[in-house]
Structure 1
Amino acid sequence: MNFRRRPAAEEPEINLIPFIDVLLVILIFLVLNTTYAKYTELPINLPTANAKQAQNRPLEIVVTVPQDGRYVVNQQLVEGRSVELLAAALNRAAGQERNVVVVINADAAASHQSVVNVMDAARRAGLAQLTFATQGQSERD
């Protein structure tokens, strides 16, 4: 007879440390390979108007003014909201050409001051031709 006690069987357990290490590496990989875009798409609700189709303009600068009052010149976000920064961005977009049409895409809920700032910046940049983008009545419904 064998009266020695046998050691109790150990409970199997899952080692979580390698699992956490792999998840940390995957997380770091995802953070480093993800691109963050400030300007992806601004939801703009254009005002309506009944007018004929716009003519083709070979040289135009599109200034977008969303509801929150930021400025986007040719799909490039302008850092800051001052008229001087906007005028500098318009100068860069126009280059040496002064016969450029500035198209203002302002949200219907954007403040009047934001639109006036765009017009003032265009004047300071020496760009005299301004137009406003609208959508037709049937496009809105």
Structure 2
Amino acid sequence: MAGAKPKSPVDLVHQNAIRCETIKKEQMSQKLYTEFSINPYKKLHVLTDKPMSRITNEHEEEDPTFLKIIHGARLEPTKRYTHPQTENQEIGWISTPLIVPDRSDRRMNFPRQNSEITKYMDAAWRLKEQTQNLG
């Protein structure tokens, strides 16, 4: 190793300047958040108190605005918004039927009807299934 340079002694002033510059760069890209809140769109898991705690039935009051946000986040889109937000929501946005369904009206209601042949075949099919299950 003919061309190897000898190590210079550690320069503490130079290392301190590098650390200060690194910290300044990190602080420039960081944001300081001082106000925190719970995400109303994520399911919240509430834990109960410890069974042996000495506090008896002392509950804090709920914030009505927070409860309104939480309940509003769980509503379906038709109750949350006045008009559709996307094109997919436009399909089925008005879900009320155009006419009132009437079961007694034979024009729109087709109940299941059996003829003599279908009644006979239904009874024969049931009898066949019972004999197969026994044997």
TM-score by length of 2: 0.25
Larger of the two Rg values belongs to structure: 2
Relative to its length, the structure with more helix (as a share) is: 2
